[in-house]
Amino acid sequence: MKARINRTLLDHMVSLRRDLHQHPELSWQEERTTEKIRSNLNRLGIANRRLLDTGIVADLPGPQGVPCVALRADIDALPITEETGLPFSSQHPGIMHACGHDGHTSMLLGAAELLMQEKQLPAPVRLIFQPAEEKGSGAKAMIQAGALEDVGMIFGGHLDRRFPAGTLVVTEGPVNAATDRFYIEIRGQGGHAGHPHEAVDAVVVGSLMVMAIQTIVSREVNPAHPAVVSVGRFEGGTVANAIAGQATLEGTIRTQDSKVRKHFKNSIRRIAESVGSLHGAQVNLRILSGTPPLSNAPEMAELARQAARQVVRESSIQKLTLANMGGEDFSYYLEQVPGCYIRYGSRIAGRENYPAHSSKFDFDEKALGPGATWLSRVALTAGQALADQCGCSNKC
């Protein structure tokens, strides 16, 4: 029999999601969101505490000697002006829940209520409400503050408009890319546009770098390994009749394999220095490491899939078939403990072309029920696995 969720809880989750959507808060500024989460946890009688100014953990007790199962939701919004036309649109100009974190938070609070209905948990459960996922720094800060102490496994997920509501997407292997950034400062020699031989054109040097960097993907990386490099900013020059003496490039590197990630960094450095040297320009390159690739171990994906079978039909359990090159700081948790990160199908007919981080992004609220139920079931499934590993029964 599939796990079910009652109408009263579903309505509460929808109401909560809409309230959070109307009051989005940027990374590290999630004060109202934090208080809303704490009031819901207090209503359920779940002990909770702030690890950071806007980072909360809540613990549901279980047998002694068994590690915790952690469940994580991100809570921050984005600096985007909403254009959905929803009756519960953002009341904060220039800030929007354009990535579904309002839904993730509501799901985890719904899962908390479902877990409180269990007579006995096979393992303690820790709820992690994490700030600043959009900055890529919240997970790291929560880990440093102790969120993973006594945690044996961790699970989480993300709404995905590519799949219909009611779908749970469980995938072994890579599911998110690393998010490294690079900055290249080019210093040439400015001059009159009519006398180019007297100058070192930083715009020309930068243009050659842009084109050469693209060949890393097409000529240096195995096509079986998804990889992307994009130059998102190119600034140089001030007037039409002067050769630019300085230019700046800024871009992102997305890779799902650690060896490819290292190769990319080395290749960008080689290209930037070589092109600069070829044309007599000075080059200053900085590469900033972002979130690591996120990859699910097969045994953890199987636990997630076992839980999914308790929630939806087998036909509604799918896998990612295309590489996802977005980043996700849940990867920092998986560097510390085993776990799995899934996708909750949430497509709205007619809004398929509005992806996350779009000003018109929205998701089907029918996804909230399966998401919350899966989180509660994976806590029980993984908790039993941890109890079996430590040789504990429910009486220990």
Transcribe 258-295 into DSSP letters.
HHHHHHHHHHHHHHHHHHHHHTT-EEEEEEE--PPPEE
The pLDDT score that the predictor gives to residue 352 is 81
Q: What percent of the chain has pLDDT over 70?
A: 98
**pLDDT of residue 396 exceeding 60:** no
Question: How far apart are the C-alpha atoms of 107 and 367, rounded to whole Å?
Answer: 9
pLDDT tens digits, 1-33: 677 789 999 999 999 999 999 999 999 999 999
- Domain 7-176+293-390: give its CATH code: 3.40.630.10
**pLDDT of residue 393 exceeding 70:** no
Q: Which residue has the tokens 């546009």?
A: 193
* Contact of 239 with 181, CB cutoff 8 Å: no
Q: Which residue has the tokens 């295309």?
A: 322
pLDDT tens digits, 34-90: 999 999 999 999 999 999 999 999 999 999 999 999 999 999 999 999 999 999 999
Phi, psi angles (nearest 5°) of residue 153:
-150, 155
Q: Which residues pair with residue 70 across a beta bridge?
A: 126, 154
**pLDDT of residue 100 exceeding 90:** yes
Mean pLDDT of 186-190: 97
Question: How far apart are the C-alpha atoms of 342 and 361, rounded to whole Å?
Answer: 20
pLDDT tens digits, 280-307: 999 999 999 999 999 999 999 999 999 9
Residue 233: both structure tokens together: 């900013």
**pLDDT of residue 365 exceeding 80:** yes
**pLDDT of residue 91 exceeding 80:** yes
Closest CA to 280 of 215, 204, 216: 204
Mean pLDDT of 323-342: 96
Q: Where are the domains of the chain?
A: 7-176+293-390, 180-288
**pLDDT of residue 227 exceeding 50:** yes
* Contact of 174 with 323, CB cutoff 8 Å: yes
DSSP SS3 for 373: helix
Mean pLDDT across the chain, nearest whole number? 96
Q: Which residue has the higher pLDDT, 162 or 353?
A: 162
The pLDDT score that the predictor gives to residue 392 is 65
**pLDDT of residue 395 exceeding 50:** no
Closest CA to 359 of 94, 173, 162, 52: 94
Mean pLDDT of 333-346: 98
CATH classification for the domain delimited by 180-288, as one of 3.40.47.10, 3.30.70.360, 3.40.50.800, 1.10.287.70: 3.30.70.360
How much is the pTM?
0.94
Mean pLDDT of 321-348: 96
CA distances from 86 to 19, 351, 361 (A): 12, 13, 10
pLDDT tens digits, 239-255: 999 999 999 999 999 99
pLDDT tens digits, 205-224: 999 999 999 999 999 999 99
Report the relative pairing of strands 68-74 and 125-130 from DSSP bridges.
Answer: parallel
Mean pLDDT of 165-188: 97
Question: How far apart are the C-alpha atoms of 224 and 205, rounded to whole Å?
Answer: 31
Give residue 349's pLDDT band: very low, low, confident or very high (50, 70, 90): confident
